[in-house]
Amino acid sequence: MDLFKKIKSIVTPFDRINVDTDQIVPKQFLKLVQKTGFGKFLFYNWRYDKNEKPVSDFILNDIKYQNSQIFITGENFGCGSSREHAVWALQDFGFGVIIAPSFADIFYSNCFKNGLLPIKLDSQIVAKLMKSTSEIEVDLENQTIKTESETISFEIDPYKKKILLEGLDDIALTFQYEDKIADFEKKSTVPSVL
CB of 74 closer than 8 Å to CB of 126: yes
- pLDDT over 90 (residue 180): no
Residue 181 maps to a domain: no
- To the nearest whole percent, how much of the chain has pLDDT over 90? 75
Residue 193 maps to a domain: no
Q: What is the CATH number of the domain that holds 37?
A: 3.20.19.10
- pLDDT over 90 (residue 182): no
- At 175 the three-state DSSP class reads helix
Mean pLDDT of all residues belonging to the chain: 92
Residue 74 maps to a domain: yes
CB of 117 closer than 8 Å to CB of 111: yes
Residue 191 maps to a domain: no
pLDDT, tens digit (0-9, with 9 covering 90-100), for 22-46: 999 998 888 877 788 899 999 999 9
Q: How far is the CA of 77 from the CAs of 112, 150, 169, in angstroms?
A: 15, 25, 23
Cross-strand bridge partners of residue 97: 70, 117
Residue 178 maps to a domain: no
- On the CB side of 137, CA atoms within 13 Å amount to 11
Residue 116 maps to a domain: yes
Q: Classify residue 112 as exposed, middle or buried by CB count within 10 Å of its CB (0-12, 13-18, 19+).
A: buried
Closest of 13, 29, 33 to residue 21, by C-alpha: 29
Residue 184 maps to a domain: no
Give pLDDT, residue 69.
98
- pLDDT over 70 (residue 159): yes
Residue 86 maps to a domain: yes
Domain containing residue 94? 6-168
CA 145 to chain CA centroid, Å, is: 16
Confidence of residue 194 (pLDDT cuts 50, 70, 90): low
Give pLDDT, residue 96.
98
Q: Which residues of 35-54 are buried (b: 16+ CB within 10 A; e: fewer)?
A: eeebbebbbbebbbeeeeee
Q: How many domains does the chain have?
A: 1
- pLDDT over 90 (residue 16): yes
